[in-house]
Structure 1
Amino acid sequence: MKIAVAGGGSWGTAMARLLSNINHEINFYIRNEMTRLDIKNNRENSKYLPGSKFSKEINLYENVEDAIKDIEILVLAVPTSAVRPLLNSIKGKLSKNVIIVNLSKGIEVESLDRISEVSEEILPDNPFVALSGPSHAEEVGNDIPTTVVVSSKDIKYANIIQNEFSTDKFRIYTNADLIGVEIGGALKNIIALAAGISDGLKFGDNTKAALMTRGMYEMSKMGLALGANPHTFNGLSGMGDLIVTCTSMHSRNRRAGILIGEGKSVEEASKEVGQIVEGIKTTKSAHMLAQKLNIEMPITEKLYEVLYEGKDPQEAVKILMTREKKEEIEQNFFQ
């Protein structure tokens, strides 16, 4: 198939390489000239995905309109905040038959919309598929076995992506719960930031396990309020992605959290990580969405205060530990 990949970061590069290796024709849209030249001359994105060489020819574009001509699938590998501007720029120029596959994991701050909702608003006639799960670009780019999930309002489009993107190193499951897949992928970044801060404060495994477990509970609560299937959060886009993002040094969110826990500002931590840390903005949008839905999400709330109101992380932890005593399971997700 003819596929355009938009976004020259690590995940876009890994996906362009993976798809080219299974003989799809790839149009790779990259805004940064140095990155385009690097891939053209060295067959590698040495800044964002060093060591992962392209073995097949791909087409490199600096103009998105040229990149999307006659394609069948458009892969979005740009930050959440860049999705709306990108889709607006191709509105009226993209065939209605093109399937949009989104790789970013976040909730738009301004609208509190999931990416599928942004896409449906701007390009309502184009099928939308979310791809999520425990999938560090660094490992996908090195052909390390990885398993993900794809979801769409119409499962036939998820099945198409499952068939076209699967390899012997990249296994794909389908899930009809688009809301749950998107919410799990977005909110796990919040918990990974918190887990990183815990590491930066030199707390231990007990603390991280508690953050991950209670974080999963917060993810499930928001998912349930939005109409998700709670079982989705036990799957790849929930528990799977949460585990890998909270425990790996490949995780930008965890690395940023460690730096914040060690005393650096949010701006300093983001700069040192060197790529977009989605969890920072997602913490803000999830905090606002929780207030809108009247959901109690204490980890998200305290992380918001640390990131946006200057609260000391040690104080935030103390407040979480001394909250009103509660039952562990306050609501039944599986009625």
Structure 2
Amino acid sequence: MIGIVGAGAFGTALAVALGREGREVRLWARDPDHIAEIARAGTNAARLPGVVLPKTVSVTAEISDLAGADAVLLSLPMQALRAFLSANPSLNGLPLVACCKGVDLVTLKGPTALIKATCPASTFAILTGPSFAADIARGLPTALTLACAEGEVLQHLLATPSLRLYRTSDVIGAELGGALKNVIAIATGIVMGAGLGDSARAALMTRGYAEMTRLAMALGGRAETLAGLSGFGDLVLTCTSTQSRNFRFGHALGAGKLFDPKATVEGAATAIAVTNMANTLQIEMPITSMISALISEQITLPQAISALLSRPLKQE
């Protein structure tokens, strides 16, 4: 049995993809009313409309129903993960796979470090890479990175014919690729929303990728990981598609429009957390710092654009 924590769009999509292959899946959500509606309708219309849950997928509001799972996928917003793990010690000892992207604002830790700190008896991994929930749920070809120390068993457990998983032992690189690309997606959204054009977007993606690699390598990650699915692949997807909430959030900022305050924009909190981390480590991350300052209302949009365009000329 595979447990999935979080009945949002991504958690539901994973449940559908795995359940479609005949695997027993238990999908957990905190809200009993939400779970009751999913059970009644056989679909999670509020988060993933038009997608029917396979019969092998059951839903629950009881965390105890995940006991004995072969793996538990944690599909929660990054800023909610630490509190959830602390409040549910019964998960300690189960294989836990983080499916969130970001850096915790309080501890400046990534998802696997939070798992290690709160559930020391658990093996941990992170599932990350270029993917949209709607594509996974529809069975469209998707390739992701599964990062863990020894992940061959998990790789075979969680892969499907349309959901291909590539394994790496570089947890740090995979985590930071997934976290930092959201920040760059906000920046490219701003560029497009402000009407600065595709050439500016390409330049920003390139320099943003350099920032991602610089921080990951400083923290022990590998450059080749950032060049893979969890880094470059995810960066391309989220910086070029309006399906990305981070891109749409940035686009709204650039265009001077309001954005849905209920939508989870992981890159906003990540920009602030990573800027604090980079300052401590004395690592130059101008794009991330600009996004952090803009979101924190320390600078205006024209000031942010001017600051980036006036940076000193240097060798690439």
RMSD of aligned alpha carbons: 1.3
Select the residue among 98, 109, 115 that pairs with 1:113.
Answer: 109
**Post-superposition CA distance 1:168-189 (Å, at most 9, x none):** 1111100111100000000000
Structure 1 position 31, deviation (Å): 1.8
* 1:6-54 Cα shifts (integer Å, max 9, x gaps): 0011101101111111222211111234432332122211121112211
Q: Secondary structure at the match of 2:3?
A: strand
SS in 2 for 1:120: helix
- Cα distance in 2 for partners of 1:94, 1:104 equals 17
**Alignment-mate amino acid for residue 86 of structure 1:** F
Cα separation, 1, equivalents of 2:184 and 2:269: 13
Alpha-carbon offset, residue 270 of structure 1: 4.1
Q: Matched residues in 2 for 1:32 and 1:269: separation?
A: 25
Query: What percent of counterpart residues are identical?
Result: 34
What is the CA deviation profile of residues 58-86 of structure 1, one whole-angstrom value per residue up to 9, with x for unaligned ones? 2211122x232222211100011111111
* Corresponding position of 1:149: 145
**Match for 2:130 among 131, 134, 143?**
134
Tell me by how many angstroms 1:324 deviates.
1.3
Select 1:161's aligned residue among 132, 151, 154: 154
* Among candidates 76, 79, 100, match of residue 78 of structure 1: 76
2:91 is paired with a residue of what secondary structure?
coil
Q: What's the offset of the Cα at 1:220?
A: 0.4
Matched residue, 2:37? 38
Scaled by the length of structure 1, the TM-score of the pair is 0.91
- Residue 259 of structure 1 corresponds to 252
1:306 corresponds to which residue? 294
**Native 8 Å contact 2:144 2:165 kept in 1:** yes
Q: 1:125 aligns with which of 118, 121, 124?
A: 121
Say if 1:12 and 1:77, in contact at 8 Å, map to a contact too: yes
Gap runs ≥5 in structure 2: none
CA contact (8 A) 1:305 1:311 kept: yes
**Equivalent residue, structure 2, for 1:290:** 278
Matched, 1:192 2:182: no
Q: Contact 2:92–2:119 (CA<8 Å) still a contact in 1?
A: no
Structure 1 stretches of 4+ moved >3 Å:
none
| Aligned counterparts of 2:222 and 2:53: Cα–Cα separation in 1 | 38
**Separation (CA, whole Å) in 1 of partners of 2:157 and 2:208:** 33
What secondary structure does 1:174 align onto? strand
- The structure 2 residue matched to 1:177, chosen from 170, 179, 196, is 170
Match of 1:331 in 2: none
Deviation at 1:310, TM superposition (A): 4.3
What whole-Å deviation, never above 9, does each CA across 1:227-281 have from its counterpart, x for those lacking one?
Answer: 11111111000000000001111101001111111113xxx4242xx43110010
Segment of structure 1 superposing worse, 20-29 or 143-152: 20-29
| Pair 1:238-2:231 in alignment | yes
Read off the aligned partner of 1:187 and give its amino acid letter. L
Q: CA deviation at 1:95?
A: 5.7
Are 2:28 and 2:59, in contact at CA under 8 Å, matched by a contact in 1? yes
SS in 1 for 2:73: strand
Q: Distance in 1 between matches of 2:189 and 2:291?
A: 11
Q: Show the counterpart of 1:103.
A: 99
Given residue 143 of structure 2, which amino acid in structure 1 is its aligned partner?
T
CA distance in 2, matches of 1:195, 1:35: 35
Which amino acid in structure 2 is aligned with residue 109 of structure 1?
Answer: L
Quick one: which amino acid aligns to residue 309 of structure 2?
M
Segments of structure 1 that go 5 or more residues without pairing to the other structure are: 329-335
**Structure 2 length-normalised TM:** 0.96
- Greater shift after overlay, 123-132 or 309-318? 309-318
Q: C-alpha distance in 2, partners of 1:199/1:254?
A: 9
Residue of structure 1 equivalent to 2:211: 218
The residue number in structure 1 matching 2:314 is: 326
